Chain A
Amino acid sequence: MVNTLKHQWLSNVRGDLLAGVVVALALIPEAIAFSIIAGVDPKVGLYASFCIAVIIAFVGGRPGMISAATGAMALLMVTLVKEHGLEYLMAATLLTGLIQLVAGYLKLGSLMRFVSRSVVTGFVNALAILIFMAQLPELTNVTWHVYALTAAGLGIIYLFPYIPKLGKVLPSPLVCIVGLTVVAFLFDIDVRTVGDMGDLPDTLPIFLWPDVPLNLETLMIILPYAIPLAAVGLLESMMTATIVDDLTDTESDRNRECKGQGIANIGSGLLGGMAGCAMIGQSIINIKSGGRGRLSTLFAGVFLMVLILVLDDFLVRIPMAALVAVMIMVSIGTFSWESIRNLKTHPLSSNIVMLVTVVVVVFTHNLALGVFAGVLLAALFFANKIGHYMGVDSALNEAEGTRTYTVTGQVFFSSSEKFVAAFDFREVVDKVVVDVSRAHFWDITAVAALDKVVIKFRREGAEVEVIGMNEASATIVDRFGVHDKPEGVDQLIGH
């Protein structure tokens, strides 16, 4: 274990340190921008980013993934802050962490297997759209200077890397922020700056127990916020972990990551921060910059705090337009442009799942609801498709006046109507044989449908015999007891 620890921390020191610096620059705009949206001082978001990044570096289950204060979480806190204030936000953050910790111990990370790829794509796109929409208030009712600065910022971010040598060494978001700040200062352009947005941190975070009464009333206030916060935090973290897994060709420990997110949020709540989670855009930046180990996450957090404490005079002068430009970049980089191209080739049901996920998120500003809708829809589509795998053949033995129906495939709620409709009740025969030994009866609906068929035939005066009912109904099991025994599955499928 010591060996893997060493590997996770020290195997890529140079790459991790450099990537940490680059990532810290992308963390600051998100922390500041979404603190403002949540209705709190930028210092709350910045403290949160510092605490979460530092804690998750030690307790997370996915080395190389960046967690901090995120937009997805901030959007869920708006009304809580507005109606109850900052102290309740801290309390909700604590509770969020607690819920996530419990989820980790209950191994809910494995529930991610129900989230299909279309839902993940929808989630990622919705997140990108939310991040972009969150920048719009900074771009409405402002002078042309802001548009000019934002456009210049985006220009720097995307064009600077093409400059030979220098472009690959200096992070372009840094050039954008420094460049725009200097220009705004030199020409004395009157635009909104970070300093106008509220307090920035002036000390290291200190331990603060949220000043709320510890009673049921408080719990009832914060619980409705903590549950979606916990869900969104875990969902975004798990999806980011999947993306980092793919990029680095390594595995992550999902349940450990759940617990880690919980611990990080508890830490953030106790140190005056808001809830956060893993960040897709910043994690991609980290991997792209060469960060792979835990050190890069830790260093991103530490460097962020150092920057803020040392450069606070500079920080207050940064025009918001520069941060907007960086966030637009994060939004563009998070969005899966491939998914637009894939709309043409992917099956309609996948596209609908993806789009529904996006639409629900954009309207509710709650990523958890979007994922819930997407997963539900995907499950329905799946049930519908599997329902097609059911067929009834029949053969008439005229000499004996016997008709034999052979049922094959999956009989369950989605296919039971089709099952009943496949029988010809008007035909006059002496005896009906229903061979269900090659069918799977998955639920009570299926069994009820079979009962209905038998009773109908009896009413028509035919004698009914059901063959193989025992094997078929043996498949009405809530849990396969045979998943680890291949011969058991064969038995179930092959009878």
Chain B
Amino acid sequence: MQNTTPNAKHSSQQTSQEMQQNAPQDTLHVVACIDGSRAAPAVCDYAAWASKYMDSPLTLLHVLDEERYPSEPDLAGNIGLGSREHLLDELAELDRKRSKLALEHGNHMLENAEQRVKQAGISDIKKRQRHGDLTESLLALQEQTRLLVMGLYGESSSDRDLRIGSQLETVIRSMSRPILLVPDNFSAPQSSMLAFDGSVTAFRGVEHLAASQVLKGMPLHLVMVGEESPEAMAQLRKAEAMLAPLEAEITLAIRSGEVEPVLHRYQDEHNIDLLVMGAYGHSKIRRFLLGSTTTNMLKTAKKPLVILR
């Protein structure tokens, strides 16, 4: 493995990744997050495709992320004999009812998803339900995850022009596995594109991609945005060499202009289905001040994205 990592902290991450690679591949699952959103059928289809493509078993996951707040406030504001005990019973009963409903609803969704995936020809399917926060649940399953499939637009994000799936950013920031983010409609991906800027972060992304083998054998366009120069070309060549383990046909390109429009145009021109990108290279503070390329890309994406962390 080429050493482009600047400090020891990263090299320890590398080691853990190498260890994960050495783990038997058959225990690693494609995990599909199923919820009640429009994207759910597409998530199933893409997950089925990924499961076949990578020859990995499929886990359908539904997280019961219920909010636990009383629906009708009781503002009487008095407490009396045994208030605490009564309150506990009351709140527990309320949660029980809600959980039960949510559980049935979730079961139903999972069953639909299973049907759909089965029709796509996948037999090795596991269904799982977990209570709690989405991110925490995904982290708990991380050890057995090879690829995570999620919808770009979640259940609670109704207006697709304004926001990406409400919890997407947190998930992307905390997961250390590749994530496939999918739009509402499925079409089997044929080619992919990796945006590249020659930075340390970008090289790390290349390294991750080569190591994860998620896109093994799929034609890949390595695209750099900026002025064409010998150094840029040299960096592209270096990245190409690092991607050799994917055994894929790699096309190199350098385009000038604004990052996002150029990338989207290139994607349209070459009819590329999958955009591969490293995500959130900067701190949240910086993102707050300057805005994030990742978030912008997520908002404007019409085709599936693979996020590498």
Q: Which residues of A pack against B, CB within 8 Å?
A: 1-3, 11-12, 14-15, 18-19, 21-23, 25-26, 157-158, 160-161, 167-174, 243, 246-250, 281, 284-285, 287-290, 292, 329-330, 332-334, 336-338
Contacts of B70 in A (CB 8 A): 15, 290
Instruction: Tell me the complex Cα distance, A173–B79, Å.
Output: 10
The interface-forming segment of B48-56, B81-89, B249-257 is B81-89
Contacts of A25 in B (CB 8 A): 77
| Interface positions of B from 55 to 103, Cβ below 8 Å from A | 67-70, 72-85, 87-88, 91-92, 95
- The 8 Å CB contact of A336, one of B75, B84, B170, is B84
Instruction: Tell me the complex Cα distance, A172–B135, Å.
Output: 41
Known: A12-B69, A15-B69, A248-B68. A289 touches B84 (CB 8 A): no
Contact between B74 and A292 (Cβ–Cβ < 8 Å)?
Answer: no
B10 within 8 A of partner (CB): no
Tell me if B's interface is mostly helix, strand, loop or mixed: loop
Contact between B79 and A289 (Cβ–Cβ < 8 Å)?
Answer: no
Q: How far is the CB of A430 from chain B (nearest CB, A)?
A: 62
- The 8 Å CB contact of A157, one of B68, B78, B169, is B78
Known: A247-B87, A247-B91, A248-B91. A158 touches B78 (CB 8 A): yes
Contact between B84 and A333 (Cβ–Cβ < 8 Å)?
Answer: yes
Instruction: Tell me the complex Cα distance, A372–B77, Å.
Output: 33
Contact between A3 and B170 (Cβ–Cβ < 8 Å)?
Answer: yes
Contact between B77 and A337 (Cβ–Cβ < 8 Å)?
Answer: no
B284 within 8 A of partner (CB): yes
Contact between A15 and B73 (Cβ–Cβ < 8 Å)?
Answer: yes
Q: How far is the CB of B282 from chain A (nearest CB, A)?
A: 13
14 sample A-B contacts, Cβ–Cβ < 8 Å, listed by A number: A157-B78, A158-B80, A168-B74, A171-B75, A246-B88, A247-B88, A250-B68, A281-B79, A287-B91, A288-B77, A288-B79, A289-B77, A333-B84, A337-B85
Q: How far is the CB of A398 from chain B (nearest CB, A)?
A: 62
Contacts of A15 in B (CB 8 A): 69-70, 73
| Interface positions of B from 214 to 272, Cβ below 8 Å from A | none
Q: Mark B163-174, 1 if CB is under 8 A from A, else 0.
A: 000010110000
Contact between B81 and A332 (Cβ–Cβ < 8 Å)?
Answer: yes
Smallest Cβ-Cβ distance to B288: which chain A residue? A2
Smallest Cβ-Cβ distance to A161: which chain B residue? B76
Instruction: Tell me the complex Cα distance, A25–B78, Å.
Output: 11
- The 8 Å CB contact of B95, one of A3, A249, A284, is A249
Contacts of A336 in B (CB 8 A): 84-85
Q: How far is the CB of B302 from chain A (nearest CB, A)?
A: 26
Contact between B80 and A333 (Cβ–Cβ < 8 Å)?
Answer: yes
Contact between B284 and A2 (Cβ–Cβ < 8 Å)?
Answer: yes
Contacts of B68 in A (CB 8 A): 248-250, 292
Q: What is the size, in residues, of chain B's interface with A at 8 Å between Cβ atoms? A: 28
Q: Which 9 A-B pairs have the closest CB atoms?
A: A333-B79, A171-B77, A161-B76, A290-B73, A22-B77, A3-B170, A333-B83, A337-B82, A172-B78
- The 8 Å CB contact of B78, one of A23, A173, A247, is A173
Contact between A338 and B73 (Cβ–Cβ < 8 Å)?
Answer: no
Q: How far is the CB of B176 from chain A (nearest CB, A)?
A: 17
Instruction: Tell me the complex Cα distance, A21–B88, Å.
Output: 22
Q: Mark B268-290, 1 if CB is under 8 A from A, else 0.
A: 00000000000000001000000
Contacts of B170 in A (CB 8 A): 3
Instruction: Tell me the complex Cα distance, A246–B87, Å.
Output: 10
Contact between A287 and B69 (Cβ–Cβ < 8 Å)?
Answer: no
Contacts of B91 in A (CB 8 A): 247-249, 287
Contact between A332 and B80 (Cβ–Cβ < 8 Å)?
Answer: yes
Instruction: Tell me the complex Cα distance, A172–B80, Å.
Output: 12
Contacts of B84 in A (CB 8 A): 243, 247, 284, 333, 336
Contact between A289 and B80 (Cβ–Cβ < 8 Å)?
Answer: no
| Interface positions of B from 143 to 183, Cβ below 8 Å from A | 167, 169-170
Instruction: Tell me the complex Cα distance, A453–B4, Å.
Output: 69
Contacts A15-B69, A287-B91, A288-B74 supplied; 12 other A-B pairs, CB < 8 Å: A2-B284, A19-B75, A25-B77, A26-B77, A161-B78, A172-B76, A247-B87, A285-B79, A290-B75, A292-B69, A334-B79, A336-B84
